[in-house]
């Protein structure tokens, strides 16, 4: 990953969402992107030019655009019509983004468009966030990474966030190897990143 001083940046064409530029690079703001927050806090993995990414919960394409600056192909899944309009505009300017309007709960809807991916990235505000990740593991190649941005209050607003995180970790650990778990404070409140790799054999 590229940093200018201690600022995380990406190398693509700027002006996607009014982001700052620094020495010709796009500033990847950790306050606006949970993936950037993970990197800023010392986590994450290298995004490489040949990497294939399935991004669940693409929203308006803010983080998607930065991931696409580094990766080879980004399959960007979004369900809501309004953010999808913005995502389509982002994809128009970055030919390696494949926007897919579909429900991440229903991977069968986009399976015909998919190939094996190196990174499954999920940022979906649903109570069944871990279940969604499990359903989409079918696309993750052995040795690939899952990055789950766990929105604990979306799982259950009444429960202690630490308990929600521990339960999610234990469930993912049944099928994946946990690489890193960390809260995204001070950038995102009650959000945690769970980074896993898929074993060759379940």
Structure tokens at 170: 């234990």
pLDDT reported for residue 130: 94
Are 182 and 41 within 8 A, CB to CB?
yes
Per-residue pLDDT of 35-53, as tens digits, reads: 999 999 999 899 999 999 9
State both tokens at 96: 């390696």
Instruction: In whole angstroms, give the CA distance from residue 134 to residue 176.
Output: 10
The CATH H-level (homologous superfamily) assignment of domain 30-198 is Vaccinia Virus protein VP39 (3.40.50.150)
The predicted pLDDT at position 202 comes to: 46
Indicate the domain borders of the chain.
30-198
Show binding-site residues: 62-63, 78-79, 103-104, 123-126
Rounded CA gap, 8 and 38, in Å?
11
- Report whether pLDDT(85) > 70: yes
On the 0-12 / 13-18 / 19+ scale of CB atoms within 10 A, 31 is exposed
Q: What is the pLDDT of residue 149?
A: 96
Binding-site positions for S-adenosyl-L-methionine read: 62-63, 78-79, 103-104, 123-126
Facing residues of 119 across strands?
53, 145
Model pLDDT for residues 142-194, shown as the tens digit of each residue = 999 999 999 988 887 777 888 989 999 999 999 899 999 999 999 999 999 99
Is residue 176 within 8 Å of 146, Cβ to Cβ?
A: yes
Alpha carbon distance 171, 137 (integer Å): 14
CA distances from 199 to 72, 136, 161 (A): 23, 15, 28
For every residue of 138-182, DSSP letters joined together read GGEEEEEEEEEEEEHHHH-TTS-HHHHHHHHHHHHTTTEEEEEEE
């Amino acid at each position: 990953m590229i940093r200018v001083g201690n600022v995380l940046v990406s190398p693509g064409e700027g002006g996607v969402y009014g982001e700052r530029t620094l020495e010709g690079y796009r500033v990847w703001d950790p306050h606006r992107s949970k993936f950037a927050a993970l990197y800023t806090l010392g986590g994450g993995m290298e995004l490489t030019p040949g990497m294939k990414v399935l991004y669940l919960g693409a929203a308006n394409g803010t983080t998607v655009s930065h991931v696409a600056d580094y990766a080879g192909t980004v399959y960007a899944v979004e369900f809501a019509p309004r953010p999808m309009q913005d995502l389509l505009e982002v994809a128009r300017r970055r030919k390696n983004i494949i926007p897919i309007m579909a429900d991440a709960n229903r991977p069968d809807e986009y399976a015909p468009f998919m190939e094996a991916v190196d990174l499954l990235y999920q940022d979906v505000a649903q109570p069944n966030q871990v279940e969604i990740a499990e359903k989409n593991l079918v696309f993750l190649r052995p040795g690939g990474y899952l990055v789950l941005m766990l929105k604990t209050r979306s799982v259950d607003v009444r429960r202690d966030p630490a308990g929600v995180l521990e339960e999610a970790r234990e469930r993912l650990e049944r099928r994946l190897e946990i690489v890193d778990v960390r809260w995204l404070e001070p950038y995102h409140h009650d959000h945690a990143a769970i980074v896993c790799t898929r074993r060759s054999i379940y």
